[in-house]
Chain A
C-alpha cells in the first residue's frame, strides 16, 4: 500500500510560506511532508516558513524528526522556520522530547509571520 495519508496546503503570504499538513504525521506520512518542506526550502524566495499544525491531530517521533531535519535545513538556508497551532497531542510529544524549547512556536501562523516581521524590522 502506498497511501501517504497526508495532504499539505501551501500558501504564500508576503515573504512567508505557510505549509499546512492535514492528517496524522507518522512513519507513513512523514516522507511526504519531508519532501514538501525540502522542496519549499530548496526553491528559495521565502525568508519565513511556517508549518501550521492546526489540522494535525497526531504526530509521532518520525514527524518530530522530520521537523528537526527541516529546522536544520532552514538554518543553513537562512530561513526562519516556525511551528504554529499545535494541538494537545502534538504539543505533548514536543514536550516529552523536550523540543518545545528548541523550535520557534507560535499560537497561529499569523502570529508567527507578525513576530518575524517585527523582529526583522
Chain B
C-alpha cells in the first residue's frame, strides 16, 4: 500500500529538525501523548542520523526517503515508518545495540530505537544498493521509558 505521507531529504543533518517535527505532528494526529510523540520522533532522528553517519559516511547529498503510515493498519491506532536510503549495504545482523554498561560516546542510536519502538527491522533493499528500516509503534504501546523495551545487548 502506498504510504499516505512521504518525505524526501538529502543526507544533511540540517534537515533532521524538520523530519522530527513532521513525525511528532503525525503522532499527535494518531492520538499519541506528547511524550510518546517525542520518543517516536527521537527514534526517527536516530535512524536518519545513522544513515547519514554510517550509510553515507557523512556525505550530505545522499537521498533518503521517509514513508509514514500514520495508522499501522486501517482503523488501528499506531504508526509505521519506513526509511529507505541508497547508501552501502551492510549485513542487518551486524546492526546491534551496544552494552549500556560500556560508558562511551556513540553507539546508542539502535538501542534507543529498539527501546522506544515496538518493532525495528533492517533489511537490504532489492537491487544491491541501499538499506530499508521498518519501525512501528502501537498507540496503546507502553514502549519507552519504563516500558519493557529492548535488552541492552539485544541484536
By a beta-carbon cutoff of 8 Å, the part of chain A in contact with chain B is: 1-3, 5, 24, 26-28, 58, 60-62, 64-66, 68-69, 72, 88-89, 92-93, 95-99, 102
Contact = CB atoms under 8 A, between A and B. Distances in A.
Interface stretch (B62-70, B86-94, B97-105, B118-126): B97-105
Nearest to B101: A98
A5 B49 contact: no
Nearest to A60: B45
B35 to A, nearest CB: 7
Interface of B: 12-14, 16-17, 20, 35, 38-39, 42, 45-46, 49, 52-53, 60, 100, 103-106, 108-109, 111-112, 115-116, 144-145
18 contacts: A1-B14, A2-B14, A5-B17, A27-B45, A27-B49, A27-B53, A58-B38, A60-B16, A60-B45, A60-B109, A64-B108, A72-B105, A88-B35, A96-B111, A96-B112, A96-B115, A96-B144, A97-B111
A93 B17 contact: no
Nearest to A99: B103
A98 B100 contact: yes
Nearest to B110: A61
Given A92-B38, A92-B145, A61 B14 contact: no
B14 A3 contact: yes
A58 B20 contact: yes
Contacts of B144: 96
